[in-house]
Amino acid sequence: MSRTTVTGSRPGAAARIAAAGFAAATIIVAAGLAGCGSTDSASPNPSESASASAPAEVLGIRDPWVKAADEGMTAAFGTLENNGDADVTITAVATDASPMQLHEMAMQDGKMVMQEKKGGIVVKAHGTAMLEPGGDHLMLMDLKHPVKAGDELSFTLTFADGRTQTFTAVAKPFTGAQETYAPDGDESPMPGMSMSPMG
């Protein structure tokens, strides 16, 4: 856990806490929890623009947004930027508002349907990955409450190496192409939607 940050303290203080070993276990645990909850961002302030500019973040996340929806399913989108020298793989995403899955669009029986993206979403080194309607997206499977335009939702990405990153996305109405992830407010699954858990 070399990433555990002891906010605002001198390096010597961190070293001393570490040196204290098990005697200071509660302190270390507390610091660790704080670190996990907020990743490395100094201020995950949801009222600020959600553009992740802190260099310590795993990915840059540009223009994150969520499709407003009253119930059922919706999705989150944005542009992921990897400024690092290694590919980054997102293996999971979570929010308080709903259980989630990583989704992709795939051709099935002659039409595009969404399905769980096996192996996660890869953002190439020095590359970007678009999460957009009609492409890969972060799927909210079953909203616990309505998501209205202007609402801000917090999402936590988990990466293949175990790191996490939290970002905030604002909800917007979306009246563009109504694809299979937009079930028209109808609770019945969309025709052709392959959402059954595979195993």
d(C-alpha 55, C-alpha 27), whole Å? 27
Interface contacts to Cu ion, rule CB under 5 A: 103, 114, 139, 181
**Residue nearer to Cu ion on the CB measure, 88 or 140:** 140
The backbone torsions φ and ψ at residue 36, rounded to the nearest 5 degrees and listed phi first, read -70, -40
Nearer to Cu ion, 93 or 139 (CB): 139
Q: Cβ of residue 50: shortest distance to Cu ion, in angstroms? A: 21
Taking the complex as a whole, the smallest distance from the CB of residue 139 to Cu ion amounts, in Å, to: 4
Closer CB to Cu ion, 31 or 90, in the complex? 90
Three-state secondary-structure class, residue 75: strand
- Residue 98 or 166 having the CB closest to Cu ion: 98
Output the smallest distance, CB 137 to Cu ion, in A: 5
Residue nearest to Cu ion (CB): 103
Parallel, antiparallel, or unpaired: how do β-strands 164-172 and 60-67 relate?
A: parallel
**Pick 139 or 171: Cβ nearer Cu ion:** 139
Which ranges of 21-153 would DSSP assign to H, the alpha helix? 25-38
Q: Are 194 and 101 in contact (CB under 8 A)?
A: no
Which residues have CB under 8 Å from 195's CB, separation 6+?
114, 115, 189
Considering the complex, what minimum distance in angstroms separates the CB of residue 10 from Cu ion? 47
Q: Is 191 helix (H, G, I), strand (E, B) or coil?
A: coil
Q: How far is CA 190 from CA 67, 181, 187, in A?
A: 17, 8, 9
* Nearest distance, CB of residue 103 and Cu ion, angstroms: 3
